[in-house]
Amino acid sequence: MRIDIITCVPNLLESYFAHSILKRAIEKKLTEVHLHDLRDYTTYKHRQVDDYSFGGGAGMVLMVEPIDRCIQKLKEERDYDAVIYMTPDGERFNQKLANRFSMLTNIIILCGHYKGVDDRVRQHLITHEWSIGDYVLSGGELAAAVVSDALIRLLPGVLSDETSALSDSFQDDLLAPPVYTRPAEYNGWKVPEVLLSGHEANIQKWRYEQSLERTRERRPDLLGG
Ligand code: ADE
């Protein structure tokens, strides 16, 4: 999967892809992430990419032209399966969307900034609009990093144990069960006996019950009655 991220502050995102699991995924060529500085696509002086809102009102708006030029250039080079705009009024991003979109080959993620983008971008250039939660960030960069991370960790070979993404929270609409590691007892705090028993069927059963109990307690909405 290739992800092209369009932003006017690429520095904000660079370090995120330069460490840990995402860095290794890129090095192993399991994914490609390309950051595009919107300011490289403007024809205005001083690398301007935003302007005042027509009709007045506080806040600057990202202009349609540099965004269109950047997207068209990318589209000349390859086909894209989705052009996603990160925005607080988009569809709520979740694990199901992550699973579905991790199967795609090429996607573009556009980060908003300031008051957002000229609405003609949304009307003519964007195929999907996603929010990562009901709060407003100062830009879409963190949201784009969240989405990229959620997609990339699902790609085959990215996680060392390929089954580990399957046992994440939200797969099967259940929260993940608790996990423990050594020592088996610390300060008198004990690891549940069943996990030390070596009895695989009992362990699976215990984990499933714990998942169900956690979900019932913390996120009954996932069980949907
Ligand atoms: N940009 C600003 N806030 C956002 C949010 N909650 N989700 C996605 N993009 C955003």
Render pLDDT for 9-44 as a digit per residue (tens, 0 to 9): 999 999 999 999 999 999 999 999 999 999 999 999
Give the residue, by CA position, lying nearest to ligand 1 atom 4: 88
Task: Establish whether residue 92 lines the binding site of ligand 1, counting it when its CB lies within 6 angstroms of any ligand atom.
Answer: no
Q: Which residues of the chain have pLDDT under 70?
A: 162-163, 225
Tell me, what's the pLDDT at 160? Answer: 84
Residue 75 CA, ligand 1 centroid: distance in Å: 25
Tell me, what's the pLDDT at 208? Answer: 97
Q: Which residues have C-beta within 8 Å of that of residue 105, sequence separation ≥ 6?
A: 1, 2, 81
Tell me, what's the pLDDT at 114? Answer: 76
Pick the CATH number of 2-152 from 3.40.1280.10, 3.40.50.1370, 3.40.50.720, 3.40.50.300: 3.40.1280.10
Tell me, what's the pLDDT at 225? Answer: 67
| Range(s) within the chain of domains with CATH label 1.10.1270.20 | 169-223
Point out which residues pair with 5 in neighbouring strands: 35, 109
Is the CATH number 1.10.1270.20 carried by domain 169-223? yes
Which atom in ligand 1 lies closest to the alpha carbon of residue 134? 6
Please give the model's pTM, rounded to 2 decimal places.
0.94
Tell me, what's the pLDDT at 166? Answer: 81
Residue 104 CA, ligand 1 centroid: distance in Å: 22
Residue 114 CA, ligand 1 centroid: distance in Å: 11
| Range(s) within the chain of domains with CATH label 3.40.1280.10 | 2-152
Residue 131 CA, ligand 1 centroid: distance in Å: 5
Would you call 164 helix, strand, or coil by DSSP?
helix
